[in-house]
Amino acid sequence: MRVLLAPHGTRGDVQPMLALGVALRARGHVATFSVPTGFLGWVRANGFEATSNGTDIQAEMRSPAARLDSVRWMFNCLKEQTARMFEPVARASEGADIVVGAGAQLVTSSVAEWRQAPHAMIAFCPCAMPSDAAPPPMIRTQALPPWVNRLLWQVGTVAGDVALRGTINRGRAALGLPSTGRPLTDILDGNVIISADRRLAPPGDGAADGLISTDAMIFVEPHTPDPRVEAFLDQDPAPIYVGFGSMVAAHARDLAAAAIAATRAVGRPAIVACGWAGLDQYVGSADDLLTIGATPHHAVFPRVAAIVHHGGAGTTTAAASAGVPQVLLPHLLDQFYWAHRIEQLGIGPRALSASLITADILSDRLDLALHDAGMRQRAAALGPLVAATDGANETVDRLEDLAAPAKQSLHV
């Protein structure tokens, strides 16, 4: 089976698809990738053929014009990226037996239709699909009544269909496909796989009957230990991790300053992951500070006392599997869902939007994460359970099931 994997988004959307690619390869299948330009080297370094989908997410998010605090800016950006992706993704799909999208990918269902191949869409959070349990990702408030969540989904899906119709239909026309009046609904009604740890993020009540749920797909990246990092992690007391992944907040300088002040207020050193925001430019050199570049979470998280992060699906899952309390400072979209879940599970204090955080507020939350015995016990107990699961092979099973009828029809 030849599979095109076409995730679109940040590292958190590409990394689990690498895990899926590895699992497909182990089963004897051929996986190829269509990804944003900035991820080509990483994907190819892991032995996969990869082509650009015509976008560069990192460059756009780090642009001075970027407005990650604006839903309108993000949506307009998504529409522009979607328009650019049709041609390169269609080209990359040549010979594919099945086309698989992931993250903020709106093109692959049309490309699969054009190729007359099966299609699957992979999401990394239950809040990506309509249900009574959570509102659409752009809604930050998570404790809404189920009927409100359902109403928001109904209204939001119709609005999304209207807003995306022109962009999607122009791309479909270029492929010779008929127009659709409900492009977003078509994707949500298709073969959707939610890949998220079932303990951290269980499928919500009222979800679509055909929804497929698997555990999170974990890519264990090869890693050579850095003696400087190893020595810092060996400190007693253990340091606190601070990192915001692919988030590039306009207030990154203030956020970094608040995080450092808070870790010092609770008497701990801090290991700071630079991320796309380049936090190292805001963090001075000191004995109690260490900045690091891209480093696999599994090499750091189990050895720190607490984890301060943005609440991405992959980072939240990695922190949970490490058995360490986590303090979430969500920036956007599904990060508010994950923050709510961590609070509900009692493995981290109540989150606060990254735009509202201060050193005093964060130090209070860190104090809870460090000294609340119940919170630390719950995190430690959940860690091995999350660490023992990996949904990549289960996802391969589902893709094989989807591709099988199409292969059989070719031999009839």
Q: What is the mean pLDDT of residues 207-222?
A: 84
Average pLDDT, the chain: 90
CB atoms < 10 A from the CB of 95, how many?
11
Q: What is the mean pLDDT of residues 8-12?
A: 91
Structural domain boundaries in the chain: 2-218+390-410, 227-387
The pLDDT assigned to 406 comes to 60
pTM of the model: 0.91
User: Could you tell me which residues come within 8 angstroms of residue 410 by beta carbon, excluding any fewer than 6 positions away?
Assistant: none
| CATH architecture of structural domain 227-387 | 3-Layer(aba) Sandwich (3.40)
pLDDT of 192 higher than 70: yes
pLDDT of 344 higher than 70: yes
Residues 150 and 155: their CA atoms lie apart, in Å, by 9
The pLDDT assigned to 283 comes to 81
- Asked if the domains at 2-218+390-410 and 227-387 fall in one CATH topology, the answer is yes
Residues 38 and 60: their CA atoms lie apart, in Å, by 11
Tell me which CATH homologous superfamily contains domain 2-218+390-410: Glycogen Phosphorylase B; (3.40.50.2000)
Degrees, nearest 5: CA angle 317-385-14? 30
Q: Which two tokens stand for residue 125?
A: 């959070």
pLDDT of 412 higher than 50: no
**146 preceded by cis ω (within 30°)?**
no
Q: What is the mean pLDDT of residues 362-385?
A: 96
The pLDDT assigned to 241 comes to 95
pLDDT classification of 206: cutoffs 50, 70, 90: low
pLDDT of 411 higher than 50: no
More confident residue, 60 or 239: 239
Tens digits of residue pLDDT in 23-81: 999 999 999 999 999 999 999 999 999 999 999 888 777 777 767 667 788 888 889 99
Residues 59 and 71: their CA atoms lie apart, in Å, by 18
Judged by average pLDDT, the poorest of 245-259, 282-296, 318-332 is 245-259
pLDDT of 294 higher than 90: no
pLDDT classification of 106: cutoffs 50, 70, 90: very high
pLDDT of 249 higher than 70: no
Q: Which residues of 326-338 are buried (b: 16+ CB within 10 A; e: fewer)?
A: bbbbbbbbbbbbb
Task: Dihedral sign for Cα 188, 96, 406, 196, please.
Answer: negative
Tens digits of residue pLDDT in 263-272: 999 999 999 9
In contact, 164 and 79? CB cutoff 8 Å: yes
